[in-house]
Amino acid sequence: MKYFTPEEADALIPELERIFSAVAGLAATAELKAASLRRRQASGEGDETSDAIERSQLQFLASGINDWMQRIVELGALPKGVEPALVDFPSRVDGREAYLCWKLGEKKVSHYHPVNEGFSTRKPLPKRRA
């Protein structure tokens, strides 16, 4: 397993932003299709063929989202959420295994959490020594 420095994680932020932009587009399209399918089924307007096509399209969109999320794994990081978009980077903080954590919108990785905890317990990274 690769351990990231904060600087190495920061260098991936532009790629993560691109990935989550693509994921958001696919997720929005999927939500519209799912809502349309639910409305048609609730109103009785759906038919087996069109419903099967819609479900197939939803599966295709979900597969696309999974492919984009797999790119994060291939970078060595761990996707933790889409809404909100969260990524953990394996690291060592003060000599202990931890995850550097990043949330979409943050321009730098500035927080971490222990490996047995999550985003809600994240703490600011210790000041770097020169």
Model confidence band, residue 51 (pLDDT cutoffs 50, 70, 90): confident
Provide the angle, in degrees to the nearest 10, between the axes of the packed helices 6-43 and 48-74.
170
- Give the start-to-end residue ranges of the domains of the chain: 6-124
Which pTM does this prediction carry?
0.87
- Per residue in 73-125, pLDDT (tens digit) is 999 999 999 999 999 999 999 999 999 999 999 999 999 999 999 899 999 99
Count other C-beta atoms under 10 Å from residue 69's C-beta.
Answer: 16
Cβ atoms of residues 103 and 84 within 8 Å: yes
Quote the pLDDT of residue 97: 96
Cβ atoms of residues 113 and 123 within 8 Å: yes
CB-facing half-sphere around the CA of 1: CA atoms within 13 A: 12
CA-CA-CA-CA dihedral for 73, 19, 17, 58, to nearest 10: -120
